[in-house]
Amino acid sequence: MLRYIEHTGPPDEAMQEEVFHLYRTIFHSEPNEEARERLLYSRDLLIVLALNEEDAAIGFKIGYRQDPDTFYSWLGGVLPEYRRQGVATQLMQHQHNWAREQGYRFIQTKTLNRWREMLALNLLHGFLITGTYVGKDGRLRIILEKEL
């Protein structure tokens, strides 16, 4: 039985390391300095962790305030061996419920076309594509938004 925990505000060092361990494992890269700063200094930061039966973190979802009406769903992922079991959906639902309770009216997220499973999950759960842009790295970013 999986369990989900919500943490608001800057994470302590242990939680930072847990999140960055998941990040490295899921995305096969190191989080950059900008990611570390967002994790520590973003307003209305919410971290949702999915834990397995042994209380090991197997997935995460992080977001923060973009503006008074919009919560930005920034990062998330699930370890490969736990995918296709509804974990990402549960993480998303926890995040959206929390944002709604805080008075946010919209959720916004951005993704790359290469993360097609995340794009499909967002579309399945009511997000609409509202735009695109080319990031600093030259890759196309897809902007999605959902009214809560």
Check if the beta carbon of residue 39 is closer than 8 Å to that of residue 19.
yes
pLDDT at 28: 85
Predicted confidence at residue 95, as pLDDT, reads 97
- Other Cβ atoms closer than 10 A to 109: 22
Q: What pLDDT score does 6 carry?
A: 93
Determine the pLDDT at residue 1: 79
Spatial distance between the Cα atoms of 74 and 32, rounded to a whole number of angstroms: 14
For 109, list phi and psi in degrees, rounded to 5. Answer: -145, 165
Q: Which CATH class is domain 3-106?
A: alpha beta
> Read out DSSP for 63-129?
EEEEETTEEEEEEEEE-GGGTTSSHHHHHHHHHHHHHHHTT--EEEEEEETT-HHHHHHHHHTT-EE
pLDDT for 40 equals: 87
pLDDT of residue 59: 96
Do 47 and 19 contact (CB within 8 A), yes or no?
Answer: yes
**Nearest partner of 135 among 119, 107, 111, 104, judged by Cα:** 111
> Residue 61's pLDDT is what?
96
pLDDT at 116: 85
Kindly give the parts of the chain with pLDDT less than 70: none
User: What confidence score (pLDDT) does residue 67 get?
Assistant: 96
